[in-house]
Amino acid sequence: MASNGIKDKVAIISIGCTPFREHWDKSRDDLVIDATKETLGYVSLTTSDIDAYWIGTAQSGMSGLTLSMPLKLEGKPVTRVENFCATGSEALRQACYAVASGAYDIAMAVGVEKVKDSGYQGLNAFPYPTAGTNRTLTAAAMYSLVLPAYAEKYGIDEDELRMVVAKIAEKNHFNGARNPLAQFRREMSAEAICDMAAVAGRLSVFDCAGVADGAAAAIVVPAEKAYSYTDKPLFIKALSFVSGNGSGLMDPEYDYTTFPECAAAANDAYSQAGVSNPREELALAEVHDCFTPTELILMEDLRFSERGEGWRDVLSGDFALDGALPVNTDGGLKSFGHPVGASGIRMHYECWLQLRREAPDDRQIENTSKTLGLVHNLGGYPGEMVSFVSIIGTEKG
Amino acid sequence: MGINVPAGMRSVASYDEDTATMGVEAARNALLPLEEDTKPTALWFSSSNPPYMDKTNANVIHAALRLDKHTGAYDFGGAEKSGVGALKSALNSTETLLLVQSDVRSGLPSSEDEIYGGDAASAMLIGSEDDGPLIARYLGGASTSEEFIDRWRDPSETHTKSWEERFVVSQYLQLIDSAWKQALATTSLTLEQISTVVISGSNKRVKNQIAKSLEATNVRGDLFESVGIAGAADATLLLTHALETSQSGEIIALIVLSDGIEILIFEAGEIRNQHPATISSQLNSRDEITYQRFLQWKGNLKVQPPNRPAPSRISASAAARESEWKHGFVASKGDESGLVHMPPARVSASPEDQIDAMSSISMANTSGHVVTYTIDRLVYSESPPVVFAVVDFVGGGRMPIEITDVDSDNVSIGMEVIPTFRKVFTADSIHNYFWKVRPKRI
């Protein structure tokens, strides 16, 4: 894979995140203002101190005006980006490249989604005009195809596998219960989740990401200037992105037990960052658990588990808060909620808290010598998706 | 509903079928066994319940069948009699005509139309011996037109009203003698030479009284207890059934009681319909539904859909560009790789193929099997839940596609399915037609 990466050229100096909630009393603009105000406040900056902005929102606004109007920015370049559910990460990625190029000395990425004003359940794609031949299946149903495929491929009883993915939800609810910003702060047992009515394949509502409003923001600067803003910056080690070609949907070889776009993005990121054994080298990972089977597959695609072994590692508790490699320590999309444009930056926010040892005591991961965190953020469906992976660390190489 | 339920069963259009999609299904059955060079010069569509007014419904059937662009497509719409009217006009024409007749009945719950009505479509190719061996030869007949109020429907209403039966019976009885005599005279036949009498009409009592008055002992049992009375499609449906079950040389009189009387007399030909999906075999492989679901499909029982946005109307220009795929289910195949792309693509997923180095491949008659599937209880549907499957087609081609005509409990990996043309949804009164798959039964 051809990418040079920008290892250690850019650092995050501040990052903030609103609570993810059904914010009936807050508009999209309120959420954007809350997230930027918090993020600027940590480093005592104002909006005029930022040279350029990227605003990520999937469906809550169009153009840079989504940010420049509520913040009353004067003469600033603002770019609106959209990349499905990886929109927030995409905003951050573009801000990082702008700084790495030398075009700007300080840039801000903001992600926002105001989902709950639609009045509908779930996340619903913006209806652009079509011939009416496109697939209409929900994302939940598409991801539910993973379970029977994985069970058959590895000879696992479907009931047992159903319990395995419920354990993923149980873990993420456990972590989210220890996160004041999370949408769902109640622990849920895997057994209770298995007892719930199925809505898509064997998945229940509690196998799906929480649907929430929220915003998050991050400020990035050239690495060499980072310490003038904070004594604990996080350095960008890798940023990768793969946009799939959709061949999984038409390829008889594709078997719904892997997301090749994610595996490719991970390999690129490991190569950029010089990570050879992610399971050993990473302190934590924030991954895109839009549905519980997604997190299972990601454990293998991100090389945290051997192929066909992810389910065993889940049952062993390897990815729990006190496991060998904690995953989704903030509750993930499942429990923290998923305001599409904000989620990618929210994932970096959790790495920020954990690596700087600023997470609440009851979910702070064990102090180890590991300095790297991984963020994985995807958008789309099995067979046709975009995937983002970043690696960030506390030490400048 | 507090009424006597008559014996037998009725056929019902699924929630994703209308008279156009059922017409496509019937026409595919009619055309599939024919030689490649047997082609109609026009398609005539008849229905009392067309999906569109103003717009020609025959066109979408024409598109789904991938008929030649220079083949005409016309609607004979409105009256139930438009079915037999098109049949008679076609028989008197020198053209080779594809007749597609289709109806969906819309009686109110517990009405006679609901109790006696059935949804059905039939298709037949009308031509001469130059087109190939005949299933039946038209010998002649009679027409009797008379204005009286029998059954009527305001175009803005869905349900038909009818006048008091005793008056209606008397009107038909008044007409039958002269019609019958004329039909025998024009064909130089005697009553004894008529092997079979088939009576079509939307009023059961009228049919019984006419049968009695003819004193014909050879009135064929109709499809009343298996399909129901099928409106504009009834006459050709009953004729098809008679031809499927008769011997060569039999003389069949088709009597149609609809705002007057039409009589058409046929001699059964040497061959039968070559397609395995005869009416009897379709009835034998039926699925049954509950009355609740029946009411739901007929629009007489509104149920809460999943709380998801209803679909937006389709784009006319996008649909026109994609017509080969949307209506014809025509995929593309890489010239070098042979990889089948569903939907068709200009750029192959295989690096072996150059850009735009693809040829067309029709998938409409290609069966497939279910690789994996899921039940979606969240997505918007007029009849949830939606069953969706990843299907591998014989000879190549994979697509995630909805399975219709299936109970969600009866889906299985490996199940054989075939493409079927359906109405996916309607928005802004525009019907979105596209293909689904259904279990292969026959």
Q: What is the pLDDT of residues B239-266, one digit of tens each?
A: 999 999 999 999 999 999 999 999 999 9
Enter the tokens of residue B399: 């697509």
- For residue B186, the tally of other CB atoms under 10 A from its CB is 14
Enter the tokens of residue B437: 């798959």
Among the partner residues B322, B388, B392, nearest to A252 by beta-carbon distance: B392
Reduced to 3 states (helix: H, G, I; strand: E, B; else coil), residue B169 is helix
DSSP per-residue letters across B53-79? SSS-THHHHHHHTT--TTSEEEEEESS
Q: At what angle do helices A87-100 and A340-355 cross, to 10 degrees?
A: 60
Residue A250 C-alpha, separation from nearest chain B C-alpha, in angstroms: 5
Task: Kindly identify which residue of chain A lies nearest to residue B322, measuring between CA atoms.
Answer: A131
Q: Are A44 and A73 in contact (CB under 8 A)?
A: no
Strands (E) located in B300-385: 330-334, 340-341, 358-362, 368-376
Burial of A378 (0-12, 13-18, 19+ CB in 10 A): buried
For residues A46, A51, A57, A63, the Cα torsion angle rounded to the nearest 10 degrees is: 110
Residue A312 C-alpha, separation from nearest chain B C-alpha, in angstroms: 23
**pLDDT: which is higher, B305 or B10:** B10
Task: Kindly identify which residue of chain A lies nearest to residue B318, measuring between CA atoms.
Answer: A131
Size of interface A-B (CB pairs under 8 A): 119
Residue A288 C-alpha, separation from nearest chain B C-alpha, in angstroms: 21
User: Which B residues, 381 through 400, put their C-beta within 8 Å of a C-beta on chain A?
Assistant: 386, 388, 390, 392, 396-400
CATH level 3 topology of A139-209+235-393 = Peroxisomal Thiolase; Chain A, domain 1 (3.40.47)
**Cα–Cα–Cα angle for A332, A338, A343, rounded to 5 degrees:** 75
Burial of B53 (0-12, 13-18, 19+ CB in 10 A): exposed
- Residue A253 sits at the chain B interface (C-beta within 8 Å): no
Among the partner residues A131, A137, A251, nearest to B315 by beta-carbon distance: A131
Reduced to 3 states (helix: H, G, I; strand: E, B; else coil), residue A344 is helix
The model's pLDDT over B304-340, given as tens digits with 9 standing for 90+, comes to: 877 888 889 999 999 999 999 999 999 999 999 999 9
Phi/psi zone of residue A313: left (φ > 0), alpha (ψ -120 to 50 degrees), beta?
A: alpha
* CATH code 3.40.47.10 region(s) in chain A: 10-119+213-234, 139-209+235-393
Question: A376 an active-site residue?
Answer: no
DSSP per-residue letters across B205-224? HHHHHHHHHHT-S-BPP-ST
User: What span, in angstroms and rounded, lies between the C-alpha atoms of B53 and B349?
Assistant: 42
CB contact under 8 A, A133 and B434: yes
To probe the interface with B, which of A123, A124, A137 has the most B CB atoms within 10 Å? A137
Chain A neighbors of B343, CB-CB under 8 A? 133
Q: Are A85 and A337 in contact (CB under 8 A)?
A: no
- Residue A196 sits at the chain B interface (C-beta within 8 Å): no
Mean pLDDT over B27-40 rounds to 87
Enter the tokens of residue B80: 């139930």
User: What span, in angstroms and rounded, lies between the C-alpha atoms of A207 and A380?
Assistant: 17
Q: Are A239 and A93 in contact (CB under 8 A)?
A: yes
Q: Are A9 and A223 in contact (CB under 8 A)?
A: yes
Mean pLDDT over B266-283 rounds to 88
Beta bridge partners of A380: A385
Question: Do the bridges between strand B136-145 and strand B260-268 make them parallel or antiparallel, or are there none, so unpaired?
Answer: antiparallel
Q: Are A123 and A45 in contact (CB under 8 A)?
A: no
B383-386 CB contacts, 8 Å cutoff, 24+ apart: B383/B14, B383/B15, B383/B16, B383/B293, B383/B296, B383/B297, B384/B305, B384/B306, B386/A136, B386/A137, B386/A141
Residue position matching structure tokens 């299904």: B25
User: What span, in angstroms and rounded, lies between the C-alpha atoms of B439 and B416?
Assistant: 6
- Give the pLDDT score at B3: 56
Residue position matching structure tokens 């049952």: A315
Among the partner residues B325, B376, B397, nearest to A138 by beta-carbon distance: B376
What are the phi and psi torsion angles at B294 (to 5°)? -60, -50
Chain B neighbors of A135, CB-CB under 8 A? 388, 400-401
CATH level 3 topology of A10-119+213-234 = Peroxisomal Thiolase; Chain A, domain 1 (3.40.47)
Residue position matching structure tokens 């929900």: A138
CB contact under 8 A, B374 and A199: no
Enter the tokens of residue B34: 């024919």
Task: Kindly identify which residue of chain B lies nearest to residue A208, measuring between CA atoms.
Answer: B378
Out of A85, A194, A262, A290, the active site residue is A85
The model's pLDDT over B103-119, given as tens digits with 9 standing for 90+, comes to: 999 889 988 889 999 99
Q: Are A215 and A339 in contact (CB under 8 A)?
A: yes
A368-371 CB contacts, 8 Å cutoff, 24+ apart: A368/A283, A370/A281, A370/A282, A370/A283, A371/A283, A371/A395
Out of A23, A338, A348, A376, the active site residue is A338
Q: Is ipTM over 0.85?
A: yes
User: What span, in angstroms and rounded, lies between the C-alpha atoms of A88 and A110?
Assistant: 7
Question: A85 an active-site residue?
Answer: yes
Distances in Å between the alpha carbon of B45 and those of B13, B97, B122? 17, 10, 10
Enter the tokens of residue A207: 């196998």
User: Which A residues, 80 through 119, put their C-beta within 8 Å of a C-beta on chain B?
Assistant: 118-119
Enter the tokens of residue B237: 């449906």
Q: Are A99 and A6 in contact (CB under 8 A)?
A: no
Beta bridge partners of A385: A380
What are the phi and psi torsion angles at B165 (to 5°)? -60, -35
Strands (E) located in B3-96: 42-47, 72-77
Chain A neighbors of B322, CB-CB under 8 A? 131, 133
Task: Kindly identify which residue of chain A lies nearest to residue B333, measuring between CA atoms.
Answer: A250
Among the partner residues B322, B375, B398, nearest to A133 by beta-carbon distance: B322
Cβ within 8 Å of residue B38, ≥6 positions away? B96, B125, B127, B131, B132
CB contact under 8 A, B307 and A124: no
The model's pLDDT over B209-246, given as tens digits with 9 standing for 90+, comes to: 999 998 877 777 778 889 999 999 999 999 999 999 99
- Residue A140 sits at the chain B interface (C-beta within 8 Å): yes
Note down pLDDT in tens along chain A; length 397 residues.
579 999 999 999 999 999 999 999 999 999 999 999 999 999 999 999 999 999 999 999 999 999 999 999 999 999 999 999 999 999 999 999 999 999 999 999 999 999 999 888 777 777 889 999 998 889 999 999 999 999 999 999 999 999 999 999 999 999 999 999 999 999 999 999 999 999 999 999 999 999 999 999 999 999 999 999 999 999 999 999 999 999 999 998 999 999 999 999 999 999 999 999 999 999 999 999 999 999 999 999 999 999 999 999 999 999 999 999 999 999 999 999 999 999 999 999 999 999 999 999 999 999 789 999 999 999 999 999 999 999 999 999 8
Going by C-alpha positions, the residue among B33, B32, B42 that lies closest to residue B97 is: B42
Chain B neighbors of A141, CB-CB under 8 A? 374-376, 378-379, 386, 388
- Residue A252 sits at the chain B interface (C-beta within 8 Å): yes
Residue B84 C-alpha, separation from nearest chain A C-alpha, in angstroms: 35
CB contact under 8 A, A137 and B343: no
- Give the pLDDT score at B306: 79
Q: Which domains occur in chain B, in start order? A: 19-292 (3.40.47.10), 306-329+364-439 (2.40.50)
Among the partner residues B308, B314, B398, nearest to A131 by beta-carbon distance: B314
